[in-house]
Amino acid sequence: MKSNSKRRLLAAEDLCRLKIITGLAISPDETRIAYTVETISEDCRKYFAHIYMYEIPDGESRQFTFGEVHDGGLSFSPDGKQIAFVSTRNKKTGIYLIPSDGGAEKKIAEEDGSFSRPLWTPDGKSLVFSFRYNDSYKETDEKKKSEAPVYRHITRLMYRLDGLGFLPQDRFHIWKLEIAAGRMTPLTKGKYDDVQPAISPDGKMVAFVSNRSVDPDIYPLREDLYLVSIAGGKEKRVPTPAGPVASPSFSPDGKKIAYLGHQFPDDAWGVHNYHLWTVGLEGKPAAKDITPKFDRQCLDQTINDLGEGHDWPALYWSPDGKRLYFTASDTGSTHLFYVSSKGGLPSRITKQACHIRAYSLNGKKRYFAVNRLDLRNPGDIYIIPARYDGDREAARLTELNKVLLNGIKIPTVKEIWFKGYDGTDLQGWLVTPPEMNRNRKYPGILEIHGGPRVQYGFTFFHEMLYLASRGYVVLYTNPRGGAGRGELWAGSIVGDWGSLDYIDCMAAADYLERLPFVDKKRLGVTGGSYGGYMTNWIVGHTDRFRAAVTQRSVVNLESFAGSSDIGFLDRVEFGGHPWENPDGYRRMSPLTYAKKVKTPLLILHNESDLRCSIEQAEELYATLKLMKKRVEFVRFPEEPHGLSRHGRPDRRLARLDWILKWFDRYLK
């Protein structure tokens, strides 16, 4: 460990020097862990991801793949001798195999489309996955693929999706790939998306999830569980209650399927908890919620700025079928749990505050391989025994960023609790500058998360550490309406944005002001997406902040309903469609209060953002400019909604630079 005097401050560019684990898989004999590490090119314009192998008995790690590639979706063969993975190379995506001892990878399929993680059949002869063709897959002229079509004929509501752009005409279906022949065969067909396959222990059946309601675009939570033979043929629906279905997993005896879901098909996003359910293949025994009293989401809802998250997590049965293993978001952490397959209260495996971002079980399932993050570590591979209080014997296997972080003065981050105006206990994290002089007064910044139903937590957040390294006291907190504290907490702002969430943010500002080392006259506020909404709301309702930065924000809920890729789904959140509740939409829209804005506002927005369209920023900027307010507008070309998490790296750095410059101008 370097002495503190020889360390430097964290730089924005350190974001491009981090090594980020993006996936992992443990071998059937539990002696090897394959994992992928994402890095950024020297010019900070591209991402690469390569496969590494950690040999547990030797305590050594080796890099398996190289070059300008992006590998992921790792899956060990049943005998542990090979790894199947998905790779993008030369702008094409395919499925590859590589020996688990190392060696040359072999391409076995390549198509112009999107592959999910491949799953091995028990005999090791085939792979199963979901796949969708891009519209250009039949083009033989490579130059034409980059040209826009003459026109687009739109007939669906869900015709585009942030980060993907215009959706292909093809739908996701379940496919089988015979490895020896290199032949891909569709197991399902039709006009609906079929996703999340799982293979029965005997290899004869494939379970998958599909929404075949009258209009899946309008009713996205009306999903069902289906079965199809590994040879294809007629599909059979497995009876489950109305509501979402995710992450199916066969029991070891092949008689049941576990899945994540709930029975509220018209739920506002993220309010009702995804629980663990089990169901017999013929609907007998009937579908049963086996965690009915567990008031937590069985999902990872902890956010940071190290990459896109919120993939559907895997569910694992114990070899004897008596337990199920899963993750859940709980008061700022994402923990590992297990529960009896007969039902009951779950037991927590990880006790220390942390963020389990990925995990894998295999073979005898004696222990987990996990990617574990915390406030000072952007992620490393750990082994954790698969039992209650397992992290007491957790072993850290990698230290990917040790050299980099040992040379940096990392700011202090600590969890805090404080009271809201109505006595509610509120959780947050306070970041203070390195070597802070407590006799000084520092400017403060309040950060507000997006969602709203996600949570800040015990994970590594470069942005917060960077701002603190530049002389700010940063507070990020979880107001009501977010995740991690149950259904009542999550649902408290449905139909009433800008209410309890606003007063909780003001309580956080009060906490900042009361700190003896914070200058209460030099406070800033920022947030993105819903956090941008709340930033806009705040500056329209108080002038206590000297500067604000709103990012990829929501401004006008009426126009958002039609301009967002999924805005039409917010009818449940906001009490109907805009024409059914016009007064409510206007009351909850920050644009309504633009004339009251006195705080200097910087607007950051991404030109290819389909979640919160840039027209939201344009409305706000034009309105404030016409009102002679202090406002500036920075647009990032080509970038979708998630610029801060996985946009082009040089633009991520530019974004940080603009935030810092704006706060420096008004707070220093």
Q: Identify the burial level of 583 via C-beta atoms within 10 angstroms of its C-beta, where 0-12 means exposed, 13-18 middle and 19 or more buried.
A: exposed
pLDDT tens-digit readout, 315-354? 999 999 999 999 999 999 999 999 999 999 999 999 999 9
* Assigned token pair, 199: 């293979």
Contact assessment for residue 51 and residue 64, using Cβ atoms and an 8 Å cutoff: yes
Strands (E), 297-345: 316-317, 323-330, 333-340
Contact assessment for residue 85 and residue 129, using Cβ atoms and an 8 Å cutoff: no
Nearest of 236, 244, 220 to residue 312 by alpha carbon:
244
Quickly list DSSP for 210-256: E--SS-TTT-TT--EEEEEETT----EEEP--SS-EEEEEE-TTSSE
Provide the β-strand partners of residue 249: 258
* Assigned token pair, 52: 């590494």
Q: Is 641 a catalytic residue?
A: yes
Residue 216 has pLDDT above 70, yes or no: yes
Q: Is 469 helix (H, G, I), strand (E, B) or coil?
A: helix
d(CA 519, CA 479): 23
Residue 438 — pLDDT band, cuts 50, 70, 90?
confident
- Counted residue by residue, the chain has a size of 668
Interior CA angle at 543 toward 537 and 548, to 5°?
60
pLDDT tens-digit readout, 267-296? 999 999 999 999 999 888 999 999 999 999
Q: Tell me which of 330-339, 385-394, 579-588, 647-656 is least confident.
A: 385-394
DSSP letter (8 states) at residue 179: T
Residue 110 has pLDDT above 60, yes or no: yes
pLDDT tens-digit readout, 51-106? 999 999 999 999 999 999 999 999 999 999 999 999 999 888 999 999 999 999 99
pLDDT tens-digit readout, 590-644? 999 999 999 999 999 999 999 999 999 999 999 999 999 999 999 999 999 999 9
Q: Is 381 helix (H, G, I), strand (E, B) or coil?
A: strand
For 574-639, what is the HEC assignment?
CCCCCCCCHHHHHHCCHHHHHHHCCCCEEEEEECCCCCCCHHHHHHHHHHHHHCCCCEEEEEECCC
pLDDT tens-digit readout, 398-408? 999 999 999 99
Residue 395 — pLDDT band, cuts 50, 70, 90?
very high
Assigned CATH for 19-138: 2.120.10.30
Predicted TM-score (pTM) of this structure: 0.97
Give me the catalytic one of 529, 553, 559, 563.
Answer: 529
Q: What is the pLDDT of residue 309?
A: 73
d(CA 571, CA 154): 22
Q: Is 111 helix (H, G, I), strand (E, B) or coil?
A: strand
d(CA 480, CA 422): 12
Q: What is the pLDDT of residue 631?
A: 98
CATH fit for domain 409-667, picks 3.40.50.2000, 3.40.50.300, 3.40.50.720, 3.40.50.1820: 3.40.50.1820
CA 18 to chain centroid: 18
Q: What is the pLDDT of residue 2?
A: 56
DSSP letter (8 states) at residue 279: E
Cβ atoms < 10 Å from Cβ of 190: 12
d(CA 349, CA 106): 38
Cβ atoms < 10 Å from Cβ of 169: 12
Mean of pLDDT values over 536-563: 98
* Assigned token pair, 298: 């069985």
Give me the catalytic one of 70, 335, 605, 641.
Answer: 641
Residue 239 has pLDDT above 80, yes or no: yes
Cβ atoms < 10 Å from Cβ of 645: 15
pLDDT tens-digit readout, 468-505? 999 999 999 999 999 999 999 999 999 999 999 999 99
Contact assessment for residue 428 and residue 418, using Cβ atoms and an 8 Å cutoff: yes
d(CA 126, CA 179): 5
Residue 378 has pLDDT above 80, yes or no: yes
d(CA 109, CA 128): 12
Q: Return the domain boundaries, the chain.
A: 19-138, 187-274, 290-394, 409-667
d(CA 473, CA 443): 6
Residue 551 has pLDDT above 70, yes or no: yes
What is the percentage of the chain residues whose pLDDT exceeds 70? 99
